């Protein structure tokens, strides 16, 4: 029998939609966009509201009010999927791909995303510690990879 996370994104309930997040925290890293090409580059600089150990937002209900750039993904707003990391559960499912075996829904263990080297745990710089003009110096490429 199919599990709920194998259904099309549009068929998920709000609770299932939230549970689909793997907790990697990659989307909470600051990004830079090339004005000419539109290409998006991730940096190791993390949003001030990211708990860099759990890799979860410390004020999730108010995130949009606190951080105007914080995009809320919904079944009706999948436009941001293009710049989300290739490992993101929403991006994978939007493309009809299965979740990876380190996803907590498959492993039954929220730590599996960290053990697999997918989460940002231990690899970030809090934005309060980085000059806003120096983000370019902190561009990273491991977000484009499956694992560390």
Which residues of the shown chain bind ligand SF4 in the complex (CB under 6 A)? 21-28, 47, 49-50, 57, 63, 66-67, 70, 84-85, 88-90
Residue closer to ligand SF4, measured from CB, 1 or 67: 67
Where does the chain show beta strands of DSSP type E? 29-33, 40-46, 50-51, 56-57, 125-126
Which residue's CB is nearer to ligand SF4, number 12 or number 21? 21
- Pick 51 or 139: Cβ nearer ligand SF4: 51
Smallest distance, Å, CB 50 to ligand SF4? Answer: 4
Q: Which is nearer to ligand SF4, 38 or 68 (CB)?
A: 68
Q: Least separation, in Å, of the C-beta of 29 and ligand SF4?
A: 8
101: phi then psi, degrees, rounded to nearest 5: -70, -15
Contacts of residue 123, Cβ cutoff 8 Å, sequence gap at least 6: 44, 140, 142, 148
Q: How far is the CB of 1 from ligand SF4 (least distance, A)?
A: 24
Contacts of residue 109, Cβ cutoff 8 Å, sequence gap at least 6: none
Contact status, residue 121 vs residue 52, Cβ threshold 8 Å: yes
> Closest approach of Cβ 26 to ligand SF4, in Å?
4
Say whether 66 sits in a helix, a strand or coil: helix
């Amino acid at each position: 029998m199919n599990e709920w996370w194998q259904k099309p994104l549009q068929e998920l309930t709000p609770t299932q939609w939230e549970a689909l997040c793997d907790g990697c925290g990659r989307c909470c890293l600051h990004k830079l966009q090339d004005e000419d090409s539109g290409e998006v580059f991730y940096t190791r600089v993390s949003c001030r509201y990211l708990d860099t150990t759990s890799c979860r937002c410390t004020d999730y209900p108010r995130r949009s009010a606190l951080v105007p750039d914080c995009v809320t993904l919904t079944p009706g707003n999948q436009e941001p999927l293009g710049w989300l990391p290739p490992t993101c559960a929403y991006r994978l499912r939007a493309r009809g791909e299965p979740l990876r075996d380190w996803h907590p829904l498959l492993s039954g263990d929220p730590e599996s995303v960290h053990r697999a080297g997918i989460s940002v745990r231990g690899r970030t710089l809090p934005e309060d510690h980085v000059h806003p003009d120096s983000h370019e110096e902190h561009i990273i490429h491991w977000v484009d990879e499956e694992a560390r």
